[in-house]
């Protein structure tokens, strides 16, 4: 038959779908009856729930990503972007990292391009805001927080110091609360090495447009998290929106105005833009229109899942599956099995999973959890958060590396140096060249 299965995106859905297909179609891949390709700008899958721990320095960034080529030896990995999907012709336009775009033909497509930050046209946001979805963003943020502590320690300008020590996070879901809690914990921990900075000198502001934080753990645990954050001195502003942040001058809808050098935007996600550059049907929220079988509605040979897809939640009629890893991993399994069934002309099965709740880390030894109705807080929740994610991070190799990182952090204090110059590696050399006389 020689069927080419093309997976757009090598994240949660892409990696787990390919892993399962690699196993289930072993014979076909060997005989050349089937081929699998993943296209992704990165050569690794990012385990996003570990981003906050990587930002806080408890985990090496290399250990929270899974290398696609090593894990998927039977799959061809192409690095670059899909810029257009023409499903009518079974062709995608592939823009490689270097060189001209080219067309790649396929028989079956899996749209698994995930999501990007959902932003609003707020004055100044593009200039000073940073998201929290990639390893690059998490590590840049870590370097920035530590660098600004250095700045604050070294300046005599009180206004510059106040601005450097003010950190704003917009959006109090998973990403925002965990990022803020881990970074605050790290910054507080780091102040012991600074003569002139006390933990109380650092201001953390969490801005949330609704009246609750961390909805993923339910109202009771969300309320507890809110109290915890406030007890830690974090200024949580509910029912408040960011109105502008031009040149770092932050204006909020509750009337407060202050200056900040750092603003992290984690107020939701929207499907990857490639979804719009395709002839696949889109739903009212801009996601690929999916069926409960994880096929693209009314479109033979096309499958989808994860953050890019609007998958009906059959356990909750009328609702859609939330964009989270809990669904993405389980959907990938059903999706891969359905591709095999599709190739063998069998009937497809529905994706069915009832959301079981969530765990969240709130800094070292602190957490909150609500899983299968079991509500935990503090150390037990933090322990559950770590064990759960350890069990979920792909491959034994990564699991061992993560445990080693955590064990080291247990015995030695975490690293609190900013390696921000890694973002500008040629600056020193350029300065040296500039001193050379002709």
Ligand X SMILES: Cc1cc2nc3c(=O)[nH]c(=O)nc-3n(C[C@H](O)[C@H](O)[C@H](O)COP(=O)(O)OP(=O)(O)OC[C@H]3O[C@@H](n4cnc5c(N)ncnc54)[C@H](O)[C@@H]3O)c2cc1C
Q: How far is the CB of 401 from ligand X (least distance, A)?
A: 19
**How far is residue 243 from each of residues 12, 175, 223, measured CA to CA in Å?**
34, 21, 25
Question: Would you state the torsion angle of the CA atoms of residues 100, 106, 287, 120, taken in this order, to the nearest 10 degrees?
Answer: -10
Contact region with ligand X (CB under 6 A), list: 3-11, 343-351, 365-373, 376-384: 3-11
Query: Using an 8 Å Cβ cutoff, are 221 and 377 in contact?
Result: yes
- Nearest in space to 280 (alpha carbons), one of 94, 119, 123, 85: 85
Give whichever of 52 and 363 is closer to ligand X, judged by the CB atom: 52
Q: Which of 31, 41, 230, 315 binds ligand X (CB under 6 A)?
A: 41
Please report, as residue ranges, which positions from 21 to 40 form the binding site for ligand X (by CB under 6 A).
39-40
Q: Which of 61, 114, 222, 394 binds ligand X (CB under 6 A)?
A: 114
Q: How far is the CB of 275 from ligand X (least distance, A)?
A: 9
* 328 in contact with ligand X (CB under 6 A): yes
Q: How far is the CB of 113 from ligand X (least distance, A)?
A: 4
**How far is residue 34 from each of residues 25, 29, 197, 346, measured CA to CA in Å?**
8, 5, 61, 17
Q: Which of 36, 56, 113, 334 binds ligand X (CB under 6 A)?
A: 113
Q: Which of 21, 56, 82, 183 binds ligand X (CB under 6 A)?
A: 82
Q: Which of 66, 111, 129, 132 binds ligand X (CB under 6 A)?
A: 132
Contact region with ligand X (CB under 6 A), list: 47-55, 97-105, 221-229, 417-425: 47-55
Q: Which of 5, 6, 8, 187 binds ligand X (CB under 6 A)?
A: 8
Q: Which of 63, 81, 237, 377 binds ligand X (CB under 6 A)?
A: 81
Give whichever of 240 and 324 is closer to ligand X, judged by the CB atom: 324
* 129 in contact with ligand X (CB under 6 A): no
* 174 in contact with ligand X (CB under 6 A): yes
Contact region with ligand X (CB under 6 A), list: 181-189, 239-247, 319-327, 398-406: 319-327
**Sequence-separated (6 or more) residues with CB below 8 Å from residue 119:** 125, 129, 265, 267
DSSP string, 100-145: --EEEE-SEEEE---EEE-----TTHHHHEE-SSSHHHHHHHHHHH
Tally: H helices and E strands in the chain? 13, 24
Q: Which of 175, 202, 250, 343 binds ligand X (CB under 6 A)?
A: 175
d(Cα 88, Cα 83) in Å, to the nearest integer? Answer: 16
Q: How far is the CB of 109 from ligand X (least distance, A)?
A: 12
Which element (helix H / strand E) includes 277? none
Please report, as residue ranges, which positions from 259 to 318 form the binding site for ligand X (by CB under 6 A).
272, 274, 306-308
Q: Binding residues for ligand X, how many (CB under 6 A)?
A: 34
DSSP string, 159-216: HHHHHHTEEEEE--SHHHHHHHHHHHHHHHHHGGG-SS--GGG-EEEEE-SSS-S-GG
* 416 in contact with ligand X (CB under 6 A): no
- Nearest in space to 133 (alpha carbons), one of 178, 97, 95: 178
DSSP-assigned beta bridge partners for residue 129: 263
d(Cα 192, Cα 22) in Å, to the nearest integer? Answer: 50
Q: How far is the CB of 370 from ligand X (least distance, A)?
A: 12
Length of the chain: 438
Judged by the rule CB under 6 A, the positions of this chain that interact with ligand X are 8-14, 39-42, 48-49, 51-52, 81-82, 112-114, 132-133, 174-175, 272, 274, 306-308, 323-326, 328
């Amino acid at each position: 038959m020689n069927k080419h299965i093309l997976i757009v995106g090598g994240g949660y859905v892409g990696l787990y779908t390919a892993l399962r297909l690699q196993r289930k179609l072993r014979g076909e891949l060997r005989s050349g009856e089937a081929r699998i390709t993943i296209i992704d700008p990165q050569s690794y899958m990012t385990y996003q729930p570990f981003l906050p721990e990587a930002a806080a320095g408890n985990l090496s960034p290399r250990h929270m990503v899974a290398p696609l080529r090593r894990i998927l030896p039977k799959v061809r990995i192409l690095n670059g972007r899909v810029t257009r999907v023409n499903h009518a012709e079974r062709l995608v336009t592939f823009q490689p990292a270097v060189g001209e775009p080219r067309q790649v033909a396929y028989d079956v497509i899996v749209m698994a391009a995930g999501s990007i930050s959902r932003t609003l046209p707020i004055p100044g946001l593009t200039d000073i805001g940073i998201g929290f979805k990639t390893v690059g963003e998490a590590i840049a943020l870590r370097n920035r927080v530590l660098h600004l502590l250095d700045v604050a320690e070294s300046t005599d300008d009180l206004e510059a110091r106040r601005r450097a020590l003010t950190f704003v996070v917009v959006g109090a879901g998973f990403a925002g609360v965990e990022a803020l809690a881990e970074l605050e914990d790290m910054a507080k921990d780091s102040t012991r090495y600074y003569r002139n900075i006390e933990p109380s000198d650092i201001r953390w502001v969490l801005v949330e447009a609704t009246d609750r934080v961390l909805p993923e753990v339910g109202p009771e645990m969300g309320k507890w998290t809110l109290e915890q954050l406030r007890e830690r001195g974090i200024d949580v502003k509910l029912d408040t929106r960011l109105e502008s942040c031009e040149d770092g001058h932050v204006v909020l809808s509750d009337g407060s105005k202050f200056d900040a050098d750092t603003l992290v935007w984690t107020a939701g996600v929207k499907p990857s833009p490639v979804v719009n550059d395709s002839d696949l049907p889109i739903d009212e929220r801009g996601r690929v229109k999916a069926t409960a079988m994880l096929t693209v509605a009314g479109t033979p040979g096309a499958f989808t899942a994860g953050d890019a897809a609007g998958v009906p939640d059959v356990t909750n009629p009328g609702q859609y599956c939330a964009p989270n890893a809990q669904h993405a991993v389980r959907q990938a399994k059903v999706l891969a099995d359905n591709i095999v069934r599709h190739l063998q002309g069998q009937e497809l099965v529905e994706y069915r999973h009832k959301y079981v709740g969530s765990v969240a880390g709130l800094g070292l030894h602190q957490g909150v959890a609500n899983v299968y109705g079991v509500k935990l807080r503090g150390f037990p929740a933090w322990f559950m958060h770590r064990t759960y994610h350890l069990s979920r991070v792909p491959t034994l190799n990564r699991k061992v590396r993560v445990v080693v990182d955590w064990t080291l952090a247990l015995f030695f204090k975490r690293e609190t140096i900013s390696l921000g110059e890694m973002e500008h590696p040629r600056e020193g050399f350029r300065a040296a060249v500039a001193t050379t006389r002709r």
